[in-house]
Structure 1
Amino acid sequence: MSELDDLRARVLLLEQENQTLKAPRRRPMARSIVAAIVLALAVLMAPIAAMGTWARLQLVDSDRFVATFAPLADDPDVQDFVSAQVSTAIHEQIDLDAVVGEVFD
């Protein structure tokens, strides 16, 4: 083969390679699906993470918790509600007639 034939063969090879590179490549569909799922999870979990961080800051820091809920202890309505709940729980758990009957027997 002559040098000219070698160059023509090389040009033909390069043109075929160029055509191959120009053809649109198809991305794998699985990658797109996985990316969409991960993005959806991130969007759904972001508010949960923000709420968890806020709750941790409010509840774990005892000084902040006391500062937030201390005024409730002075409210008479809250005091009545708590005392009613405690009384109901005690009456449900303890048989007062049996306890009083044992004391007087």
Structure 2
Amino acid sequence: MLKILCVCGCGLGSSFAIEMSAKAVLKKLEIDADIDHTTISEASAFNSDIILTQKTFADILNADASEEEQRRVIILNKLTDKTEIEQKIVAFLKARDMKDGRHE
């Protein structure tokens, strides 16, 4: 199962909004995923395949991350734009030869 983490500064507002939009996208794509939201300071405690966030927090997450860890961070320009979220999740899965969150 695909594990997705939505990250923002306080773990309440924008990360929750991203989570709700991403859930709708995943349902549309029929992708079974475990999705949660948290603060930037707690994000490293989670084991996730994808992190959805905005550029400011992506820069913080990537500062000390390995190249592989950096690839899982997806930067959203419009946090609740379902089209953007769908395009970026699909591109992420294709780049890793995954379908529905599983390797093909």
TM superposition score normalised by structure 1: 0.20
Larger RCO (CA under 8 A, 6+ residues apart): 2
> Which structure shows the higher strand fraction?
2
> Which structure shows the higher helix fraction?
1
Larger Cα-atom Rg: 1
